[in-house]
């Protein structure tokens, strides 16, 4: 088996709260899937919401595998 670890940091929108950029994460998952990698595990953490001017940081760590 081969394994690949990918870490992505998603930033909250500039005004208000709530990360609206999960399509970026979806794109990364689809890109690796099309290349023959299967998602093994995913873990997410959040840096806390600061709202205007600050922005939340969601960090996703994904482990992919393939034969």
pTM of the model: 0.74
Q: Quote the CA–CA distance of 15 and 13 in Å, as a whole number.
A: 6
Query: Is the pLDDT reported for residue 43 higher than 90?
Result: yes
Model pLDDT, residue 25: 86
Helices then strands, counting H and E runs in the chain, come out as 1, 3
The pLDDT mean for the chain works out to: 82
């Amino acid at each position: 088996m081969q394994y690949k670890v990918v870490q992505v940091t998603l930033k909250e929108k500039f005004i208000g709260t709530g990360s609206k950029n999960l399509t970026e994460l979806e794109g990364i998952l689809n890109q690796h899937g099309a290349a023959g990698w299967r998602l093994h595990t995913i873990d997410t953490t959040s840096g806390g919401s600061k709202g205007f001017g600050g922005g939340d940081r969601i960090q996703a760590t994904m482990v992919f595998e393939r034969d």
